[in-house]
Amino acid sequence: MTAATLAPTLPAARSHGWRGFPTLLATESRLWLREPGTVFFSLAFPTVLLLGVTFAIPGMREPITGTGSAWDGRSAIAAYVPVVLAAAVATPALTTMPVSFAGFREKGLLRRLSTTPMRPQGVVLAHLVINLVAIAAAAAVALAVGALVLGYPAPEQVGTVALAFVLTATSMMSLGVVIASRTSRASTASAIGSLVYFPLLFLSGLWTPGPMMPDAVRQVGQLTPLGAASQAMTAGWFEDGFPALQVVVMAVWTAVLLPLGVRLFRWS
């Protein structure tokens, strides 16, 4: 019955590999929202961090005095705002995103996709988009809540802060892709992510924000993506000069890590 209708020929290739990407992005977004842990850490963590630091640590709302620098007279919590923005990027990029990529690989989801006309790259791209949107939203929420509850000065150089923030996102996401590129288990990705996450947060000034950071830490930190991120945003927010070194550092990290991550990435 079927033999006659099934000549062994193929029509010209109909697939371009990205058909269905909008559906994929929509579906992955819905699934992303169904993970309460991921949603909390990606969207609410920066705000919680900012408010927590403000109200849990005594003296954060007092003005800084006696540093003999531009910081004098500003509330200590203001120095935290760039750090919180850096954390808003680092948290999804180094914790939730690599874990979900490794999970896809572990479950054979990427392998399953590679038998369809959709390329497994599609699901990676969809998650980069989702995480970028989440990062932007998380930063916006943290800034809005912070401005409402705490009040802090507007950035001196909005463009510089925006550029620094974008570069923070690209360099940290690239680092996240490298971590996710080979790990075959979600738990391994989680462990490696944390191993990188906490030292980077330290270098970004989570424990020693703004003027409280020792010089040695600052020297090392400015060469790391997240240290450079908070320093560049601090400079853009409170100072006049352009943080050229930090911007170049983040651009170089992105330029090195992103191709590396794409190159190393395994589908199964």
Residues that bind another protein (CB under 8 A): 1-10, 13-15, 17, 19-20, 22-24, 27, 30-31, 34-35, 107-109, 111-112, 114-118, 268
Question: Would you say 167 and 229 are in contact if contact means Cβ atoms under 8 Å apart?
Answer: yes
Q: What are the CA-CA distances from residue 188 to residues 71, 98, 192, 213, 264 (Å)? A: 41, 10, 6, 32, 16
Beta bridge partners of 75: 63
Residues in the chain: 268
Minimum CB separation from another protein for residue 138, in Å? 22
With vertex at residue 197, the alpha carbon angle to CA 194 and CA 198, rounded to the nearest 5 degrees, is 90
Residue closer to another protein (CB basis): 27 or 65: 27
Residue closer to another protein (CB basis): 115 or 263: 115
Residue closer to another protein (CB basis): 111 or 149: 111
Residue closer to another protein (CB basis): 4 or 148: 4
Question: Would you say 163 and 250 are in contact if contact means Cβ atoms under 8 Å apart?
Answer: no
Residue closer to another protein (CB basis): 14 or 263: 14
Minimum CB separation from another protein for residue 82, in Å? 35
Minimum CB separation from another protein for residue 2, in Å? 4
Minimum CB separation from another protein for residue 14, in Å? 5
Minimum CB separation from another protein for residue 225, in Å? 30
Question: Would you say 114 and 123 are in contact if contact means Cβ atoms under 8 Å apart?
Answer: no
Query: What is the secondary structure of 110-134 as a DSSP string?
Result: HHHHTTSSS-THHHHHHHHHHHHHH
